[in-house]
Amino acid sequence: MGSGVCGGICRETCCRILSAGYLDLAEVKQKDLSRIDKSLEELKETVGSICQACASRSICQECPLGWLLFRGSCYKFSTTAKDWEGARISCAESNSHLAIINSLEEQYFLSNSTNSKDSWIGLSDKDTEGVWQWVDGSPLSFSFWNTGEPNNYMERDEDCVQLRYDKGWNGEWNDSSCKFTFLWICEKRSLCNLGLAG
Ligand SMILES: [Ca+2]
Ligand SMILES: [Ca+2]
Ligand SMILES: [Ca+2]
């Protein structure tokens, strides 16, 4: 508080004004700080309870109503039959895709959940005969063909894959004509597992 700040005001008055101002500011700052502290505490509590809820999985509905949860994916089993392309479109309309089966666990879960009804999955060789591709463009790594499949049976053009159940089959894969109508299985990522592969 040199003469530059105090200008023409006498030094004592200037000091009083300045220190009063400083005290006011300090008080405001203290109030703000405690308000920020309080907000911070509340935020910590909120984050804590969100984390707890996440851990106990109660924070969000993992799958929409009517979808079954298995290892980070939600599955819907249709109740009507369509050809493969119709089934593919139906899944897309509910923001999902025809089931992509990546493991034996997923195969068993799905084949046990269809009520033994033949069901389309998202595998076809309709683009290039003999090159099997999932609907997301990924190539075939895991497979569960029945013995002798895929076979383009009776030299028919069998380009789409179903889980089959008649005549002693138990959900093994069969290439079938894409024009036949079957039930189908849609898959999408669970809401609580957005980071996991679908
Ligand atoms: Ca899958
Ligand atoms: Ca074929
Ligand atoms: Ca076949």
Structural domain contains residue 131: yes
Whole-model pTM: value is 0.70
Looking at residues 184-188, what average pLDDT do you find? 98
pLDDT for res 196: 47
For residue 2, is pLDDT > 50? no
Q: Are residues 18 and 97 in the same domain?
A: no
DSSP 183: E
Burial (CB count <10 Å: 0-12, 13-18, 19+), residue 93: exposed
Residues 143 and 100 in one domain: yes
Q: Residue 3 has what pLDDT?
A: 46
Residues in the chain, how many? 198
63 in a domain, yes or no? Answer: no
Q: How far does the centroid of ligand 3 lie from the alpha carbon of residue 33, in Å?
A: 73
Q: Which ligand is nearest to the CA of 74?
A: 1
Q: From ligand 3's centre to the CA of 105, what distance in Å?
A: 23
Q: H or E segment at 123? A: strand 119-124
Centre of ligand 2 from the C-alpha of residue 148, in Å? 13
Q: Looking at the structure, do residues 92 and 141 belong to the same domain, yes or no? A: yes
Q: What is the rounded distance in angstroms from the CA atom of residue 192 to the CA atom of residue 72?
A: 8
pLDDT band of 20, cuts 50, 70, 90: confident
- In sequence order, the 6+-apart residues with CB closer than 8 A to the CB of 129 are 159
5 belongs to a structural domain: no
Ligand 2 geometric centre to CA of 125 (Å): 5
The answer to whether residues 46 and 111 belong to one domain is no
User: Are residues 32 and 112 part of one domain?
Assistant: no
Proximal ligand: closest to the CA of 150: 3
Please check whether residue 197 lies inside any domain of the structure.
Answer: no
**Residue 198 belongs to some domain of the structure:** no
Give the count of domains, the chain: 2
Task: Identify which ligand lies nearest to the alpha carbon of 178.
Answer: 2
Mark whether 120 and 29 lie in a shared domain.
Answer: no
Of 16, 186, 184, 171, the closest CA to residue 93 belongs to 186
Domain that includes residue 115, residue range:
68-190
Are both 73 and 143 inside the same structural domain? yes
**Residue of 193 and 111 predicted with greater confidence:** 111
Q: What is the distance in A from the centroid of ligand 3 to the CA of 81?
A: 19
Distance 197 CA to ligand 3 centre (A): 29
CB atoms < 10 A from the CB of 72, how many? Answer: 15
Tell me: pLDDT of 195 over 60: no
CA-to-CA dists, residue 59 to 51, 177, 188, angstroms: 9, 43, 19
| Residues 162-179 as b or e (16 or more Cβ within 10 Å = b) | bbbbeeebebbbbbbebe
Pair 79, 111 in one domain: yes
Residues 166 and 138 in one domain: yes
Residue 142 belongs to domain with CATH number = 3.10.100.10
The CA-based angle 92-101-103, given to 5 degrees, is 155
Same domain assignment for residues 138 and 80: yes
Pair 104, 185 in one domain: yes
Tens of pLDDT, residues 89-101: 999 999 999 999 9
Q: Beta strand 172-176 with 183-189: parallel, antiparallel or unpaired?
A: unpaired
Residue 175 lies in a domain: yes
Cβ 63 vs Cβ 194: under 8 Å = no
